Amino acid sequence: MTDIALLLIGAAGAVCLCAPPTEPAEKQAAPPRGYRIPLIDLAGQTQRQVIVDREPGQYLGHPTTVLLEDGKTILIVYPKGHGRGAIVMKRSEDGGRTWSERLPTPPNWATSQETPTIHRVIDPQGVRRLILFSGLHPIRMAVSEDDGRSWTELKPIGDFGGIVAMASVIRLHNGSYAAFFHDDGRYLRAGGGAANRFRVHRILSADGGLTWSEPEVAAEHPQAHLCEPGLVRSPDGRQLAMLLRENSRRFNSFVCFSDDEGRTWSAPRELPGALTGDRHVARYAPDGRLVITFRDTTHESPTKGDWVAWVGTYADITEGREGAYRVRLMDNHKDADCAYPGLELLPDGTFVATTYGHWTPGEPPYIVSVRFTLKELDALAARR
């Protein structure tokens, strides 16, 4: 990782905080397009599955979840439609085993133009908030200070926009928050031009998510289209890794790293095929291993287009290793239209992974959770 990042003026005047490649991208050795680690298939284990929401004839998709501090209350938001449409919210108070009916939401949540995302933040005075974002131009945000029982309407956070806002929100060591989204020039500013390469942008909040800075470019690539950043902190807390979807479909997914709390980032490099996918969401298991769930877009994979998870270590990511094994969580029956997942770890070590997909042939997608522990997955892997 280079110690000095280039400060370049990028599209629409945004400052680029990403480092230059150490060598031209075309000269870097390409990692394998497939993988050799074991594959565990949970798709047929219906006892693990909980239907969160399903409506005949209605497309339900692209959810995100947040687990509250009691370790059992989960909130979920998703649009009635493909990436856009009225925002639906539900609540589980038993760790995702059962779900409420659709909850009342402010009237202008029906005007959402993009995938909603929900995040927990805490301000310098210790006030806990939930914040919900809806993207395109301008990015808008709603706030709850009573754990999601009541909400403000969606309001612009600035004169800028973007796609899948905010794919990741992470707390920094100084108590501020960094949030990440992507755009290709169409929505960052009003009257944006024709689509160009996707770039990943970062914004900052020092007041617990109430106000946000102007966007800065955190990651870009001369040929690849980087988007949907998934952030994970190293076990020792010193480094951030950003896992990235690659939207041209010519490369594997990418990763870049920051050793200064996201102020600068290393040049993006391709991940192994085992971690190639869309919309990575990561959580640490109690034993320190990582579980990352995503849509499988690996170029050579028997589960391509399905909802999968990867099990490995943070060191596997930094060292470019394949990891321990992969898991098919559910079988998607139409194209690759599935798996913008939520992933939560309960106090007893149970992972609750939740997303949408075409789980029934010939029907629109609906929202399902899958429950598992690493002890169960390890036992299945040992039988292979």
Q: What is the pLDDT of residues 28-85, one digit of tens each?
A: 678 999 999 999 999 999 999 999 999 999 999 999 999 999 999 999 999 999 989 9
Residue 289 lies in a domain: yes
Distances (CA, A) of 162 to 166, 353, 360: 9, 26, 32
Q: Are 133 and 166 in contact (CB under 8 A)?
A: yes
Instruction: Tell me the per-residue pLDDT of 310-364, one tens digit each, with 9 for 90 and over.
Output: 999 999 999 999 999 999 999 999 999 999 999 999 999 999 999 999 999 999 9
* pLDDT for position 25: 41
Query: Which domain covers residue 279, as residue numbers?
Result: 8-20+33-382
pLDDT greater than 60 at residue 23: no
Q: How confident is the model at residue 21 (pLDDT cuts 50, 70, 90)?
A: very low
Beta carbons within 8 Å of 212's beta carbon, 6+ residues apart: 157, 158, 179, 203, 204, 205
Single-letter amino acid code for the residue at 11: A
* pLDDT for position 299: 97
* pLDDT for position 11: 39
Instruction: Tell me the per-residue pLDDT of 122-138, one tens digit each, with 9 for 90 and over.
Output: 999 999 999 999 999 99
* pLDDT for position 210: 98
Distances (CA, A) of 267 to 6, 24, 223, 242: 10, 11, 13, 11
Prior bond to 138 cis, omega within 30?
yes
Distance CA 151, CA 145 (A): 8
Residue 27 lies in a domain: no
Q: Provide the 3-class DSSP secondary structure of residue 288.
A: coil
CATH classification at residue 227: 2.120.10.10
Distance CA 123, CA 205 (A): 9
Instruction: Tell me the per-residue pLDDT of 137-160, one tens digit each, with 9 for 90 and over.
Output: 999 999 999 999 999 999 999 999
Q: Any idea which residue has 């690539």 for tokens? A: 221
Distance CA 352, CA 343 (A): 6
Residue 25 lies in a domain: no
Q: Any idea which residue has 């301008």 for tokens? A: 138
Residue 2 lies in a domain: no
Residue 52 lies in a domain: yes
E strand residue ranges, 26-84? 39-41, 49-53, 64-67, 74-79
pLDDT greater than 90 at residue 196: no
Residue 1 lies in a domain: no
Structure tokens at 239: 């480094």
Task: For residues 200-207, give the mean pLDDT.
Answer: 98
Determine whether 111 is exposed, middle or buried from the number of CB atoms within 10 Å of its CB (0-12, 13-18, 19+). middle
Residue 367 lies in a domain: yes
- Percent of residues, the chain, with pLDDT higher than 90: 89
- Lowest mean pLDDT, pick from 98-102, 174-178, 190-194, 241-245: 190-194
pLDDT greater than 80 at residue 7: no
| pTM exceeds cut of 0.85 | yes
pLDDT greater than 90 at residue 22: no
Q: How confident is the model at residue 18 (pLDDT cuts 50, 70, 90)?
A: low
3-state helix, strand, coil in the chain (%, to 5): 10, 40, 55
Residue 106 lies in a domain: yes
* pLDDT for position 28: 61
* pLDDT for position 120: 98
Instruction: Tell me the per-residue pLDDT of 223-276, one tens digit each, with 9 for 90 and over.
Output: 999 999 999 999 999 999 999 999 999 999 999 999 999 999 999 999 999 999
Q: Is 262 left (phi over 0), alpha (psi -120 to 50) or beta?
A: left
Instruction: Tell me the per-residue pLDDT of 219-234, one tens digit each, with 9 for 90 and over.
Output: 999 999 999 999 999 9
* pLDDT for position 5: 33
How many domains is the chain built from?
A: 1
- Average model confidence (pLDDT) across the chain: 93
Q: Are 102 and 53 in contact (CB under 8 A)?
A: yes
